[in-house]
Amino acid sequence: MKKAMLIINPSSGKEEALDYKEDAVKILNQTHEEVIVKLTEKEGDAIEFAKTAADQQFETVVAMGGDGTINESINGLAERKNSPLFGFVPLGTANDFARALNIPKKPKEALRVLETTHTIPVDIGKINNRYFMNVLAVGAIAESVYKVTPEEKSKFGPLAYFIEGAKALNNETPFDLQVKHEGGIWKGDAYLMLVALTNSVGGIESFAEHAEVNDGAFHVFILKELSLPHVVKIIPDLFQGKLQSNDQIEYFSSSSVEVSSGQNLVVNIDGDEGIHLPFKAEVLHNELNIFVPSEK
Ligand SMILES: Nc1ncnc2c1ncn2[C@@H]1O[C@H](COP(=O)(O)OP(=O)(O)OP(=O)(O)O)[C@@H](O)[C@H]1O
């Protein structure tokens, strides 16, 4: 018997997630005999729900929520035997993973993707014993995302992150960084390091324009310079998908990285506060099968 689990974070997406529950159940009932609905109440719930679904050999897990809920669901599904298929309805602010997979931003349209039963294998990142689907970030600009309030997110959308990031640029000093990757070791002073799995970072799809969701690679960007004329040049490059060739950016791709610094730094994992450096991260190639629109 095919079973599906629907994990909903009722607090996500301006608290309207539950409005889509009935439609989601109806759609999943077309292809599954049983649909179980689980509502999250706090951090960690979605991980446990997804783990249970994997243990009980559910065919499908669908998450409705922001990137936090999707990240947790993935943490419950990655590296499990016969992981269920994974689908999601993005209800957050940046929704980078949805952008990368071409999943519509409108919840009703995103739900229709689940009708098609069309899935593709997608890479997942592993950092120590945690999993991520979007990005690792190190530096004060990355830390500024914790300061964005839910009110700012509702008012400004992804721009809220830009505003806090720009504030963090003031008085920013570089940190020493060492990154071991497939092509060698990069050592130097940096203001920001991003390890992206997909093309979309901070709501900007042109960030790592050439990145594919299953190319088996991390796309590493290190910001080496931060004076005003340099920043001014970076912005158009960012929006034109040319960041990797900007002089102030060190770019390389690698299926694993080992990152350390002489300073006490914390890595941001998919927008949430993560672990202290040093860390190792690797790509789990084609780790999960995810529902996407048929044309992608
Ligand atoms: N019922 C709940 N009430 C409040 N917080 C919850 C509840 N269930 C889960 N959470 C927590 O809310 C966090 C953020 O949720 P999520 O990312 O899904 O939505 P969001 O904040 O609207 O999205 P975004 O961060 O993209 O704006 C989750 O990681 C989880 O820790």
CATH of the domain at 214: 2.60.200.40
Rounded Cα gap, residues 245 and 234, in angstroms: 10
| pLDDT band at 193; cut points 50, 70, 90 | very high
pLDDT band at 247 (very low <50, low <70, confident <90, very high): confident
Total domains present in the chain: 2
Smallest CA separation from ligand 1 atom 4, residue: 11
**223 forms bridges with which residues in the sheet?**
192, 249
pLDDT score for 126: 98
141 & 102 share domain: no
Is the CB of 66 inside a 6 Å radius of any atom of ligand 1? Answer: yes
Q: Please confirm, yes or no, whether 123 is among the known catalytic residues.
A: no
**What band does 77 get if pLDDT is binned at 50, 70 and 90?**
very high
pLDDT greater than 90 at residue 292: yes
Q: Residues of the chain with pLDDT > 70: what percent?
A: 88
Highest mean pLDDT among 28-42, 128-142, 207-221: 28-42
Q: Report if residue 130 sits inside a domain.
A: no
Question: Which of 7, 8, 9, 200 is the best mutation target for the ligand 1 pocket, counting ligand atoms within 8 Å of the beta carbon and taking the most?
Answer: 9
The whole-number average pLDDT for the span 9-34 is 92
Same domain, 72 and 46: yes
Residues 98 and 145 in one domain: no
Predicted pLDDT of residue 279? 97
Is the domain of 118 the same as that of 140? no
Whole-angstrom distance, CA of residue 36 vs CA of residue 59 = 12
Is the pLDDT confidence value at 190 over 70?
yes
* Spacing, Cα 40 to ligand 1 middle (Å): 9
Smallest CA separation from ligand 1 atom 13, residue:
68
Mean pLDDT of 52-65: 97
Task: Give 14's pLDDT tier (boundaries 50, 70, 90).
Answer: confident
pLDDT mean over 6-16: 88
In DSSP notation, 232-263 reads HHHHHHHHTT-GGG-TTEEEEEESEEEEE-SS
In a domain, 259, yes or no: yes
* pLDDT beyond 90 at 244: no
pLDDT at 236: 74
* The pLDDT of residue 48: 98
Whole-prediction pTM: 0.89
pLDDT score at 146: 61
Instruction: Quickly list DSSP for 136-151.
Output: EEESHHHHGGGG--HH
Q: Residue 196: its pLDDT value, please?
A: 93
71: domain CATH number is 3.40.50.10330
Residue 140 falls inside a structural domain: yes
- Residue 128 falls within a domain, yes or no? no
More confident residue, 174 or 142: 174
pLDDT reported for residue 164: 66
Q: Could you tell me if residue 183 is inside a domain?
A: yes
> What is the ipTM metric for this complex?
0.94
Mean predicted confidence (pLDDT) in 164-177: 74
Structural domain including 20 reads 3-122+287-291
Does the structure show a pLDDT above 70 at 259? yes
Q: Are residues 99 and 236 in the same domain?
A: no
What's the pLDDT score for residue 235? Answer: 72
How far apart, in Å, are the Cα atoms of 131 and each of 25, 151, 173, 242?
Answer: 27, 28, 30, 28
**Tokens read off for 256:** 């694993």
Res. 149: pLDDT tops 70: no
H/E run at residue 6: strand 3-8
